Structure 1
Amino acid sequence: MKKTVMNGNRLTLHIAFGVDENFFRGAGVCIASILEHNPDLDLVFHVFTFGCSEQSRVRLASMSQARGVPMHVHLLDEGAFARYRHNPRGNYSNAIFTRILMPEVLNGITDRVLYVDSDILCRGSLAELAGLDLGECVAAAVADVHTIAQRRIGAMALEGDFYFNSGLLLIDVANWNRARITERAIELIGSDEFVLDYPDQDALNKVAEHRVMKLHPKWNVMFSLLSSLRTCRQKLSISDDAVMLHFGGPLKPWHSWSHSCAQQMFLRYQERSGWGDVPLDAPRTYKQMHQCATYHRNHGKYTSAIIWYGAYLRTKLSFMVRGAMASALLAAGVFSGGLADIASWAGRVLGMA
C-alpha cells in the first residue's frame, strides 16, 4: 500500500487536531508554526470538534484562504462517547476523544494522518514523519514521561515497557481501521475493566499494544509550564533537535501568567494565524487565579500578587458556598435537578454567579 502521497517531487501530509471551543486558537497557532517550518510539504489540515462557533469557523477559513492551504472542520457526533461518562475521570472534555474517531472519518481521504494536540508548537521539518514507513503498525508515537509511563503500564496490565503519549500520533488509517482500534477503544472506555486516569490514552495503549512504533522523543518534547512557574525558571530547556514542543498540563502559553519564553514563542506564531488579534487569556477559575498570584509573587510583583490572591480567595469561597448550599438543597429534596443546576441557582440567589 502506498504510504505517502506525492505531488510531483513534494510530499503531502494530512495533519489533524481535536478541539473544543477553548482550544481552537491553540490549533490555529500550531498550524501557523507548522506552516513556517514546512514550506517544502503540501499540507492539508483537519480540525475535528463536537461543536464550533461561527467566529472560530470564520477565523480558520480566513487563515486557510490567506495561507492558500486547505483547512477542513469536521463536526462529530457526541453520542459516540455517551458511555465514557461512566468512567471516574469523566470530567474530561470530549475533545480528547476525537483522535480515536479520526481514522474512520478520514478513510478514503488519506492513507495516513498526523494527529497533533493543540497545545503543541512546531519548530522544525515534518518531512521525516511524512515519509516514515509504518509497516504493519497502526500508529507511531513517543513514550510518555517515565513517571507516568511506569504507573500506567502497571495499571493497564501492559505486557511491554512502552506506554506512549497520545498528544502526537502518526496514524496509518488503513491499518488502524483494519485492527478496529476505534471500536475497541470506545468499548474499553465504556467498560469498568480498568480505572482510566487518561481515558483515551490509556485505552489506546491497551488496544493497540505491540502495534505502535516508538518514535524519537524529539517529535513530542513534553513540558510542564506549571512546574516552571513554581520554580521561576526563566528559560525552557530545549534540545537542538526538538521538533514538536508539547505544553501539557493546566498552564498553557496563551495564559497571561505563563512562562515568558513559551508565551513569546506562542505570540510570534499567533501573529501569523487567524487569531492574531486575540489577547492572552486572563485567569477565570480560582485555580488559575492562584497560579497568576504565584507568578506575580515569583517575579517580585507583590502588589499584583496580593490582588490576585484576594481574587483567588473570594472566588474559591464563592465556589465552596455554592457547592455547600446546593448539596444541602439536594439532600433536603427541595430540588430534583442535578447538583450543577442547583449550584448555579444558588449562585444567582447569593449574587455570586
Structure 2
Amino acid sequence: MYHIFFTADENYIKFTSVLMTSIVKNATKAYEKKPFCFHILSDFISDVTRKKLEILQKTLSEIYPCEIKIHIQDNAKFDKFPSSGAAQNNKLSYYRLKMLSCLDDNVKTCLYLDSDMLVLEDLRELFALDLKDNIAAVVGDMGSKRAKIKFMEGSEKKTFYFDENYFNAGLLLINVKEYQKAQIEERCEELASKCFYIKGADQDLLNACIESKKRLKLDFAWNFFINAYAYAITKDDKLGYLNYTKEEFKHSFESPKILHLCFKPWKFLRSFNDSKGRNVNDLWWEEAAFTPAFSAELLELKRHIKDHLLYAGLGSLLYRYTKNFNVLKIVHLIKHQDEDLKIAQNAQNFNDKDFALFLLLGEMVLHARAKKKGVFSVFLKALKCISSYEKYARR
C-alpha cells in the first residue's frame, strides 16, 4: 500500500476529502497499482462525517483502489509541546509526529501532506524514489531563514538557528527505518519540552532534529506555494530565501506537481494566477465540485466566501498609503474596521496583477489587527513586500 497521512479536525475533513480525490484522480501513470491507504489523524470525527468518508472511500475506489483509516489522538500525548506560534489554537499540527505508530512494522515509506494542498500529478512518483539512507525527502521553504528555536539546556538558555536548508513540513516523504533509527519522534518531544520560544511548531522541531545531510531535497514543484506565483526570491537573487536557482524555480513554476494553497480556497475565491493564467483557487473548486459525499457541503460554503475581497481591498489601501509614506492613514486602517464592507466591495474589479500584491498586503493589515501590531512594523513590512514584488514578480 501507499500510506499517506493527513491531520484534520472535524471542520477540515471536507477540505482533506478534496485532496484525497485529487490524489486518486491523478493516479494515471504506469506505476505499480498498489492501493492508497489514507490515514487521518484527528482529535474527533462525528458519525455523520465518518459515514461521508465511507461513501468517499467506496466511490474513489471505483477509480483507483483506496482505503481511509481514522486515528483519533489523545491531546494528553502532547502536553509537553508548546502552545504557541502555529500551535496556538490547538495541538493538531503536532499529531504528524506520532504517525509512524499507526503503521505496521513492514511499511518502508510513508507520506505526509497538509490538507490545504491539491495534487496535479501522479503521487506514486514520490513512492518510486530511492531514499537510500536519508531520513526524509523534503521541499525547501519560502521566505527568510532567520527563524530560530529558543530552549533551556539545564539552567542555560540556548538558541538553534535555522539556515537556507530549512524545509516546509507540509510534505514529508518518510523513510520509516531511518526515521525510527534516528529517534526523530523522541528527539522532537524532548526538544519541545525544553522550548520557551518556537513559532513553527512541529515544522521547527523537525528541522532541528533531522540533519541536513539526511534529507533528500525535492523539486519545489512537489510543494509549490501559490504565493510564489506573485513573486519568489531565489538563491540566485539573494541568499537566505527560496533555496532553489532561478532555473529550478522556473521549471517548478511552469509545471507544479502539488499546489500548496496557503491562501485557502475555502476563504479566498480568488488568489493567484498560474503560468497558464488560471486562478489556482478555481482549480481546487473544480475538484471540490466533484468530490464524492462532500461536494454539496463545499459548494454551499462557496456561496458565502468574501474574505478575498476584504484582503485585497485593505491591501490596495495599504499599498497606496505606504507608497505615499502616509503613516497616519495606515494607523486608521489598522485601528478602524467600520469601513471594511465598503472596502471589500471596491475590490471586485481589481486586475490580476494588482490582486496578487494586494492580497499579500491585506494579510498584513488583518494580522496587525489580530496581534495588535504597531504601525511602523506594518509600514516597514509593507515597504519590503512592495519592493520585493516590484523587483522579483514573474512578468
Question: TM-score scaled by structure 1?
Answer: 0.70
Q: Which residue of 1 aligns with 2:356?
A: none
- Alpha-carbon distance change, 86 to 36 in structure 1, aligned in 2, over 3 angstroms: closer
C-alpha contact (below 8 Å) 1:139/1:213 kept by paired residues = yes
Q: How far off its partner does 1:88 sit?
A: 6.3
Which amino acid in the other structure matches residue 252 of structure 1? Answer: K
Q: Which residue of 2 aligns with 1:135?
A: 132
Q: Is structure 2 residue 244 aligned with structure 1 residue 223?
A: no
Cα distance in structure 2, aligned partners of 1:111 and 1:61? 27
Which amino acid in the other structure matches residue 212 of structure 1? Answer: R
C-alpha contact (below 8 Å) 1:48/1:98 kept by paired residues = yes
Which amino acid in the other structure matches residue 223 of structure 1? Answer: I
Q: Is structure 2 residue 287 aligned with structure 1 residue 269?
A: yes
Report the RMSD for the aligned CA atoms in angstroms: 3.1
- Alpha-carbon distance change, 174 to 107 in structure 1, aligned in 2, over 3 angstroms: farther
Q: How far off its partner does 1:55 sit?
A: 2.2
Cα distance in structure 2, aligned partners of 1:133 and 1:140? 10
Deviations 1:292-322 (A, max 9, x none): 8555422149xxxxxxxxxxxxxx9xx99xx
Describe how 1:246-285 pairs up with structure 2 within 5 A: 246-248=260-262, 251-255=263-267, 257-259=269-271, 261-273=279-291, 274-278=293-297, 279-280=300-301, 282=304
Cα distance in structure 1, aligned partners of 2:86 and 2:259? 26
Q: Is structure 2 residue 167 aligned with structure 1 residue 164?
A: yes
Describe how 1:14-25 pairs up with structure 2 within 5 A: 14-25=3-14
C-alpha contact (below 8 Å) 2:133/2:178 kept by paired residues = yes
Describe how 1:1-353 pairs up with structure 2 within 5 A: 12-40=1-29, 41-42=33-34, 43-68=36-61, 69-85=66-82, 87=84, 90-108=87-105, 110-147=107-144, 150-152=145-147, 157-158=160-161, 161-192=164-195, 195-210=197-212, 211-224=214-227, 239-248=253-262, 251-255=263-267, 257-259=269-271, 261-273=279-291, 274-278=293-297, 279-280=300-301, 282=304, 290-291=310-311, 293=341, 296-300=345-349
C-alpha contact (below 8 Å) 2:21/2:287 kept by paired residues = yes
- Alpha-carbon distance change, 56 to 161 in structure 1, aligned in 2, over 3 angstroms: same
Which amino acid in the other structure matches residue 38 of structure 2? Answer: F
Report the identity percentage: 25
Which amino acid in the other structure matches residue 253 of structure 2? Answer: S
C-alpha contact (below 8 Å) 1:141/1:165 kept by paired residues = yes
Which amino acid in the other structure matches residue 162 of structure 1? Answer: N
The secondary structure found in structure 2 opposite 1:146 is coil
- Alpha-carbon distance change, 162 to 119 in structure 1, aligned in 2, over 3 angstroms: same
Q: Which runs of 5+ in 1 are unaligned?
A: 1-11, 229-236, 302-315, 321-353
Which amino acid in the other structure matches residue 110 of structure 2? Answer: V
Which amino acid in the other structure matches residue 189 of structure 2? Answer: I
Deviations 1:123-151 (A, max 9, x none): 1122321111111221111000032xx21
Cα distance in structure 2, aligned partners of 1:265 and 1:167? 19
Q: How far off its partner does 1:109 sit?
A: 5.8
Question: TM-score scaled by structure 2?
Answer: 0.63
Cα distance in structure 1, aligned partners of 2:45 and 2:228? 27
Q: How far off its partner does 1:255 sit?
A: 2.4
The secondary structure found in structure 2 opposite 1:242 is coil
Q: How far off its partner does 1:112 sit?
A: 1.0
Q: Which runs of 5+ in 2 are unaligned?
A: 151-158, 232-249, 273-278, 313-340, 351-365, 371-395
Cα distance in structure 1, aligned partners of 2:131 and 2:209? 18
C-alpha contact (below 8 Å) 1:138/1:171 kept by paired residues = yes
C-alpha contact (below 8 Å) 1:33/1:123 kept by paired residues = yes
Cα distance in structure 2, aligned partners of 1:146 and 1:225? 10
Cα distance in structure 2, aligned partners of 1:296 and 1:110? 52
Q: How far off its partner does 1:172 sit?
A: 1.2
Cα distance in structure 2, aligned partners of 1:226 and 1:129? 24
Number of aligned positions between the proteins? 278
The secondary structure found in structure 2 opposite 1:171 is strand
Cα distance in structure 2, aligned partners of 1:171 and 1:161? 21
Deviations 1:234-290 (A, max 9, x none): xxx973321000012xx4112264438233211221133231111235469xx8894
- Alpha-carbon distance change, 191 to 157 in structure 1, aligned in 2, over 3 angstroms: closer
C-alpha contact (below 8 Å) 2:121/2:257 kept by paired residues = yes
The secondary structure found in structure 2 opposite 1:141 is strand
C-alpha contact (below 8 Å) 1:225/1:259 kept by paired residues = no
